[in-house]
């Protein structure tokens, strides 16, 4: 494992809307980017409607990178994952309409790479409770959820957050029934097509954010550290795939504070009883009018 420390400073905001391309690779919009060396910890507000959000407060810029390898001619890193628990009141099975993921580039130069997002169920196989094992599947029929983005150029020595939006039901990407899954990101050079070397890929990772998310919950003493590149590729739903272990960010043994990775998800809340009642009255009125 490699741990890299730095601090975070000023930022640039970009809030134009984005629509994900669901066939093949997807597009992502830059939400904000900040240099690794600096001071200010607070970077932006929570997206309205977020059911999990931890992208507003960097934790000193400390972050983790992995070691890239070659798989089937493709340079790729193992996965880094965090546990995500949606806020109480989130609608189980509701469509996830927007997600934000964050990338730390510890290189001293810009790097172009593909970000590959994958999600795992919190099924505890084979490592016991509160750990990922099988790919998270949702929708009808159930489909393994994962998204690969077009190559992104990451600024030198930066932390950057990117977002993408989904049309309703276009992907079947839904809130888990338990309100919890594991979200991970790895990076590849598209079989050399992005120009990133293995050394450069090895200096991509995730930055540390606040130990207490603004919305929802994530265990501040747990993340998943992948051990091989193939744990990010699609495979049979329901078959244990992920290879790695749950780690504690170095806390308390390493003296580091409890933290989390930066993620945000927007999805619907359970309608209030009064809202449901009004909808019911509206439906009754519509039926009577049609009669």
Q: Note the pLDDT tens digit of each residue in 282-291.
A: 444 444 455 5
Integer Cα distance of 104 and 108 in angstroms: 12
pLDDT at 7: 35
pLDDT value at 22 more than 50: no
Q: What pLDDT shows up at residue 142?
A: 83
Average pLDDT, the chain: 78
Q: How confident is the model at residue 218 (pLDDT cuts 50, 70, 90)?
A: very high
- The per-residue pLDDT for range 234-279, each reduced to its tens digit, is 544 455 566 777 777 665 555 567 889 999 999 989 876 544 444 4
137 falls in which pLDDT band (50, 70, 90)? Answer: confident
Residue 144: CA count within 13 A, CB half-sphere: 18
What pTM did the predictor assign?
0.82
Q: How do residues 230-243 score in pLDDT, each as one tens digit?
A: 666 554 445 556 67
Tracing tokens 């050079």 back to the chain, one arrives at 189
Cα–Cα distance between 83 and 259 in angstroms, integer?
12
Share of residues in the chain with pLDDT > 90 (%): 43
């Amino acid at each position: 494992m490699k741990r890299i420390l730095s601090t975070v400073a000023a930022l640039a905001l970009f809030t134009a809307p984005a629509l994900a391309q669901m066939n093949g690779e997807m597009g992502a919009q830059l939400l904000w980017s900040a240099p690794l060396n600096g001071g200010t910890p607070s970077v932006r507000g929570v997206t309205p409607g977020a059911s999990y959000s931890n992208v507003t407060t960097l934790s000193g810029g400390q972050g983790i990178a992995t070691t890239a390898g070659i798989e089937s001619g493709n340079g790729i890193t193992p996965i880094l994952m965090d546990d995500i628990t949606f806020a109480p009141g989130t609608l189980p099975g509701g469509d996830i309409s927007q997600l934000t993921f964050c990338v730390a580039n510890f290189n001293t130069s810009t790097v172009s790479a593909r970000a590959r997002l994958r999600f795992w169920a919190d099924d505890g196989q084979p490592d016991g409770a509160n750990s990922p094992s099988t790919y998270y599947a949702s929708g009808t029929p159930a489909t393994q959820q994962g998204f690969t983005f077009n190559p992104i150029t990451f600024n030198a020595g930066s932390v950057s957050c990117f977002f993408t939006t989904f049309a309703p039901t276009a992907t079947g990407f839904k809130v888990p029934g338990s309100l919890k899954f594991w979200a991970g990101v790895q990076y590849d050079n598209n079989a050399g097509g992005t120009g990133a070397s293995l050394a450069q890929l090895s200096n991509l990772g995730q930055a540390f954010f606040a130990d207490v998310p603004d919305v929802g919950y994530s265990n501040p003493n747990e993340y998943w550290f992948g051990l091989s590149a193939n744990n990010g590729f699609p495979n049979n739903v329901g078959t244990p795939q992920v290879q790695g272990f749950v780690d504690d960010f170095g806390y308390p043994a390493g003296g580091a504070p409890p933290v989390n990775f930066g993620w945000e998800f927007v999805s619907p809340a359970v309608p209030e009883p009064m809202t449901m009642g009004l909808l019911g009255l509206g439906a009754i009125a519509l039926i009577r009018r049609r009669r």
